Structure 1
Amino acid sequence: MQPQIFDTAQIPAADRFGLWLEMLAQTPTLMRIRTEHADNFEARAEFLELGPIQLIRHRYPPLHGIRTRKLISRSDADCYLLALTLNGTGIADQDGQRGICPPGDLTFYDCARPQELSHHTDRADDRSAASIVALIPHDALPLPHRRLTPLFASRMSGAEGIGALLADYLIRITSHPDQYHAVDADRLGGVALDLIATLLGRHLVSEEAVPTEVRRRALLAQVHAYVRQHLGDVTLGPGTIADAHHLSVRSLHRLFEDEETTVAAYIRDERLARCRRDLADPALADRSIQVIAGRWGFRDKAHFSRAFRATQAETPQAFRARHLEQARIVNSPASEVNSTRTQ
């Protein structure tokens, strides 16, 4: 996927702030902005469409913004905004509530209501505040609108639990959008919505406000992330995963029933994927196959070889030799010469 990029570095300094305001006027976040850096407003926004939601990764000088009812009437305001602070400190005010968010924390508010925000950096020599925002249509979030009022401008941790998973998800997608295909946009947006809804539900008086299927999908995403983080642990299995998520083993297996795989198969497939990546990497050519397999949780050489052949229809040795030879040919001086001649 390729984001749409707006970067004021491409235009004269005197025009930067005005063009940034024009860009902002085309979004549901139209605001009256004040900044001490209007004479040279170096800012960048990367817009990524993920089905029902839009992600925007911002970098900008410190600023203060106010959104009034008059400005709301001039914009498409039927959406929520969830913001993850990346650098600096963000402060949001809405409906008499205030959230102060250092890097790594999240806040949430309704674009259809007046709000005030500021984002400043914590050092005098740091001129770039940064954040990721998700714009979510009101009808895309499976939570009652009236129930969400207590959460507007609240601070939510992005350092643990669902908040950490959501923060990591937003950072990964916006940092490397080229690693994802356009056909995956709807599904990626759906995962983000499930995580956002579950995070908000955790901060409501009752999590029952979140539909059961949304909670199931968010829990599955959390389990997937846990597995990927612990692939090298030989004790990783249904029991340890269930314990880490306060589930019974039976409930964990039930969670995977609609996924066309089992817990054990998912662990095996993720481990094999990491092994394939490392075996094909010329930078790791000096590492033995057994060391690579062990790094990703395969402690028995024979078991690893059987599992690898079952999925790849070739031995790990043959797979590695084929991919390293392909890399050698692509990177050889002769290949560079031929490429130059054809240009």
Structure 2
Amino acid sequence: MDTELKRQVFDTEQVPAADRFGLWLDMLASTPGLMRVRTEHADNFVARSEFLDLGPMQLVRHRYPSLDGIRTRKLIQRSDADYYVLALTLAGTGIAGQDGQRGVCRPGDFTFYDCARPQELSHRGEDGDQPLRSIVAFIPYGAVPLANRRLAPLFAGRMSGTEGIGALLADYLIRLTNHPEQYHAADAERLGAVGLDLVSTLLGRHLVSEDAVPTEVRRRALLAQVRSHVRQYLGDAALSPQSIADAHHISVRSLHRLFEAEETTVAAYIRDERLARCRRDLADPALGDLPIQLVAGRWGFRDKAHFSRAFRAAYAETPQAYRARHREPARIVNTAASGVNSGGTY
């Protein structure tokens, strides 16, 4: 039986107020991001951190009050320093500093560090009582296919998480950390690999030359971006290989080549995703009164006959039969419930 992703939660509210800041510091000492932290909330440090193990990458979703941190050379010697840190600010404003470079990160911004170098940070909110939130990824040196010396210009800089590859990566991290229970432990390595491809491509985009990123890494990241675009516009009947290629500034031929290694075609991927959404809606009791033609139309199928043929070819039954089969258990339950209620009136 599948188990959920491996995760660990540190919640300072599980201990008395006087012990909360100490618990947080102990947690921090167990990570590659060991820092000396100062805060005005040391007497009652209400914070929570949830760790997700994704094999080659570890994610931490943090919630904490305003703080300042510094990582010195002595602290570096006391911790595992062969890591990079990519941090996404979700709430509050962060000021990062490393190697003489400084960046200001607001909600939706990424910043990037090298754990083997001294660094400083400050995270503040506009409202002093509002908790600050961030997602941090710890990434081993060897998991990033880019030379450390080439990455140096990015340390402590700001990278947008609201557009392009940055938006796709931000959405990926937020979805994973919001609902880790939806993923299986067996998927951890693959989820981590997808995340690393997106991280490497984001870093490559912010370097002088994106060619620093290996071709296969860029291909997989572009494929993830295309798939996300398709899922976003499934309901648009005009979605096509041409519109997808135009949205990603590539040729239709390049788009088709992108899918060759996936043993499918662009059109087949769109069709399969649309059929999966239709099948989900047809089995949803809340949509039981919605005509099948409207279910198909909301996911981009304009022709009823074409939808029926495609659905039957994919699932070996008609949409009507599929919906009826998934309604049957509800009828049985309702009948039984009706019998119980009738018996109660005697």
Q: Equivalents in 1 of 2:185, 2:333: separation in Å?
A: 27
Which residue of structure 2 aligns with residue 290 of structure 1? 293
Report the counterpart of residue 197 of structure 2 in structure 1.
Answer: 194
| AA of the residue aligned to 1:105 | D
1:319 aligned onto 2:336: no
Residue of structure 2 aligned with 1:42, choices 23, 42, 46:
46
TM-score norm. by structure 2 comes to: 0.94
Instruction: Choose the corresponding residue for 1:117, options 95, 118, 121.
Output: 121
2:56 is matched by which residue type in structure 1?
Answer: P
Judged with a 3 Å threshold, the aligned counterparts in structure 2 of structure 1 residues 139 and 248 are, in CA distance, closer, same or farther, namely: same
2:165 aligns with 162
SS at match of 2:300: coil
TM-score, normalising length: structure 1: 0.94
**What value does the CA root-mean-square deviation take over the aligned residues?**
1.6
Which deviations, in whole Å up to 9, do the C-alpha atoms of 1:14-47 show, x marking residues without a partner? Answer: 1111011011111101111101111111111111
Of the candidates 52, 58, 80, which is equivalent to residue 76 of structure 1? 80
SS at match of 1:256: helix
Matched-pair contact (CA < 8 Å) for 2:65–2:129 = no
Alpha carbons 2:83, 2:141 under 8 Å: kept: yes
1:33 to 32, 37, 40: 37
Runs of 5+ consecutive residues of structure 1 not aligned to the other structure: 338-343
Could you say if the C-alpha distance between residues 21 and 304 of structure 1 is closer, same or farther in structure 2, counting changes exceeding 3 Å?
Answer: same
Q: Are positions 1:180 and 2:180 aligned together?
A: no
Identity of aligned residues (%): 77
Does 2:233 align with 1:230?
yes
Partner of 2:311: 308
Q: 139, 143, 147: which one pairs with 2:146?
A: 143
Any stretches of 5+ residues in structure 2 without a counterpart? Answer: 341-346
Following superposition, the deviation at residue 312 of structure 1 comes to: 1.1
Superposition deviation, residue 322 in structure 1: 2.1
Residue in 2 that maps onto 1:21: 25
Q: What SS does the aligned partner of 2:37 have?
A: strand
Aligned length: 335
The aligned amino acid for 2:25 is L
**Counterpart Cα distance in 2 of 1:326 and 1:29:** 52
Paired with 1:247 and 1:283, the residues of 2 have a C-alpha distance of 40
The list of structure 1 runs, each at least 4 consecutive aligned residues, that deviate by more than 6 angstroms after superposition, is 330-333
2:57 corresponds to: 53
Contact 2:66/2:128 (8 A) holds in 1: no
